[in-house]
Structure 1
């Protein structure tokens, strides 16, 4: 069945604190809030200097109603550090803007109610010029309801078109085309710190706000990041760049903030930091994980991944590895350490190998060409000839056997055809 038609509903987010910021900084902050807004809707429009419009008519059902939309918006804005924030909703963007300025918290869903709600509001909301305000005063018009009772053509002739146009757009009588932001192919966020600091904790506080904007954008476009870069800016020193790496694409805010905090704690700032940037050049498709109906016994793959990434963040990439097989016939050289994020390789097909190899093969006593280890060994399988290594000067020529000791242990032994010759114990089977 097709989805039922939903009427437009614009949520205006007004940020009065932006009025005190320089225009460039305020514009950047407004853009960050807009990117976060993609978490609530795919239609986000910026209205400088202090307002962001979110079309949430189609999102109410997804989030569970107007109350949940408001709660989610307030929590997100608080996470971005944008408080106070004045919110109001109306069927038109201009109507929502007027309500956010004069009656924050109002939620109007139909145009008839919107008209009655706007009537007692002051005419100053239409942003008249000084001359236009004088004309309004001369006509005795102080409320929007007064303007609505006047003939529209005469009102336009006396006070000019811009205020009347804004009023008509608020009522939905005149189109109000809005340009919605296009989801970017990468993320760039910058935040000037409240005060220069050498404390990584203070820098981490600013980074958390940038991560919140990034996560909102990622949720809105159903993407994740596997790598991001944190840049710390100083007044008299080269910037510091820190890489946040994850084993797979993620958009988990708490998890990303945890990794970032550990990376910052390990960094010593060469100078006082004045700003922090967050950059993610590659936005990847996000594949979420499904939970289990019944709890499984043992450690989950997700828990191991989380632990691994936290160890990398705390200790560094060079200190955390995993083991992998490599195509070398010599058992002591058939494995290597690789980074955790290294892709898996198909295993090399080999005969059975013991799980426990000795660091150095142990020479065995032999009698009549029969090895002994706690008694004579019974050779159950073999020989498996391994002759390799001529290219690096450590070539071997060995015949390997699976042997059983008198006590029942299964061993991996070999007879060496190179000096010092003889029998050797190389490993134990479980």
Structure 2
């Protein structure tokens, strides 16, 4: 097996930065006690001003007055960790969250689908960069080795155990995952690299150090298996964004909305599912939340399309009071079936697919303004169809031919030049609702070759009444 370690060195900071419109603004995450606030981590713009992690907030303000601060939230960081696990689930069914700020993925079984590792790795890096998360990626034959190698390497791919041992022997003892007390003891003994530790008699190491040290070394070298708990994606999506200030306009809500929808699309891709309806919750400073339902006729997961639909729904409502936070909740997540496409697409480049155009019209004009057609279980032609605004169970079409164009009112059909091809087909129905009909229908053809559907009432001998045309 081959395990990829995706190390996310600044997960908390990246999670905050991707929700802020101005990425160049100096930002620091704060932690510590109320009496002594310290900078947990800072972004690149803050580093350029001289700020650094571990610095007290007081000294930071003495150096720089104009920088933004956000409270470090471990629970929020854990939510980002699990959301990225849902992203990684697209590429491997064995994803582990054993280590903080790390995604462990078994990738050997995925190479047949995603291609050789260099191309696979490039795709992982491109998607993580697009999502806004810095990363380091290392591949090794066991998960512990991959995790420890990521401490000092990026882009390293070790594919066999013999090569793995050689690479691990060059690792400093303080970067292989040993506890601080053991690392200090080894350093005082003059042992700086793992090769020097492994050169010692095993029995001597076992007497000097706890059993956990030998177990860790065996697991690191692949001589001892490690049991991992694998990630399982949840059956719903529920993410909330706390806004930095009270928002009173739709325009200011679009940026956090786009981030939420992007996260939803990433989550859906990992589950290999789509979304058919979700709800936006606008949480106000005062009063109850505003709910904005978004429904689709079929399951979709394209981020751009979902954003356009949510935006259209959002712009139709009147925000009653300032919005403090935005939440997206989705539970209706059916399997996603991609639309059938032709090998040579004839659709003009600038035009929208029908599915996207349909949903955009529904979002802009309302559900009742865009209807489809569906069959109805009724023998009377004028009652055998109905308009529908949502996807329903489809009835099987009748086995006998029916015209595609039904006239709103039957009209007399002259007998001259018209010949009957088939019929009569008798339809007697509707006695229970006052719309009783008794008709004999004929398949007819005009002098020009056009085929139609005409009838006369049972027992009458007048002209045929044209009721519809065949395509």
Q: 1:172 to 1:407 in 2, by over 3 A?
A: closer
CA distance in 2, matches of 1:293, 1:409: 34
d(CA) in 1 for partners of 2:212 and 2:185?
13
- The Cα of 1:412 is off from its aligned counterpart by 7.9
Give the direction of change, closer, same or farther, for the CA distance of 1:283–1:394 in structure 2 (3 Å limit): closer
CA 77–395 in structure 1, closer or farther in 2 if over 3 Å, else same = same
**1:92 pairs with one of 118, 125, 142:** 142
- Counterpart of 1:95 in 2: which secondary structure? helix
- Structure 1's 44 and 297: CA in aligned 2 closer, same or farther, altered over 3 A? closer
CA-CA distance at 1:108 after TM superposition? 0.7
Q: Tell me if the contact between 2:136 and 2:155 (Cα under 8 Å) persists in the aligned partners.
A: yes
2:269 maps to 1:276: no
Matches within 5 A, 1:12-51: 12-18=5-11, 21-51=72-102
Q: CA deviation at 1:289?
A: 6.0
User: What secondary structure sits across from 2:325 in the alignment?
Assistant: strand
How far 1:288 moved relative to its partner? 5.2
| 2:263 is the counterpart of 1:210 | yes
Offset at 1:291?
5.3
Residues 165 and 252 (structure 1), Cα distance of their counterparts in 2 relative to 1, 3 Å cut: same
Q: Is residue 218 of structure 2 the alignment partner of residue 168 of structure 1? A: yes
The change in CA–CA distance for 1:16 and 1:265 in structure 2 (over 3 A counts) is farther
SS in 2 for 1:73: helix
Separation (CA, whole Å) in 2 of partners of 1:50 and 1:113: 26
For the 8 Å contact 1:79–1:209, the answer to whether it is kept is no
The CA RMSD measured in Å over matched residues stands at 4.2
State the TM-score, normalizing by the size of structure 2.
0.68
Q: Does 1:105 align with 2:155?
A: yes
Measured after TM superposition, the shift of residue 67 of structure 1 is 0.9
Q: 2:283 aligns to what? A: 234
The answer (yes or no) to whether the contact 2:297–2:390 under 8 Å persists in 1 is: no
Shift of 1:92: 1.2
Inter-CA distance 304–178: structure 2 relative to 1 (3 Å threshold): same
The Cα of 1:187 is off from its aligned counterpart by 3.2
CA-CA distance at 1:68 after TM superposition: 1.7
| Partner Cα distance (1:344, 1:250) in 2 | 20
Whole-angstrom distance in 2 between the partners of 1:191 and 1:36: 18
Tell me the secondary structure at the aligned position of residue 276 of structure 1.
Answer: strand
1:205-237: CA deviation from partner (whole Å, max 9, x where unpaired): 222432343233234xxxx33524244352544
Q: CA-to-partner distance for each residue in 1:313-334, whole Å, 9 max, x for gaps?
A: 4433322212234455665544
Residues 1:125 and 1:194: Cα distance change in structure 2 (over 3 Å): farther
Which residue of structure 2 lines up, in the alignment, with residue 336 of structure 1? 386
Between the aligned partners of 2:162 and 2:450, the Cα distance in structure 1 is 88
TM-score by length of 1: 0.73
- In structure 2, the partner of 1:60 is 111
Structure 2 residue ranges without an equivalent (≥5): 13-39, 41-71
- Go from structure 1 to structure 2 and tell me whether the alpha carbon gap of 1:240 and 1:100 turns closer, same or farther (over 3 Å shift): farther
Q: Which of 76, 94, 98 is 2:127 aligned to?
A: 76
Unpaired runs of 5+ residues, structure 1, are 1-7, 365-370
Deviation at 1:118, TM superposition (A): 2.2
- After the TM superposition, which of the residue ranges 190-199 and 145-154 deviates more from structure 2? 190-199
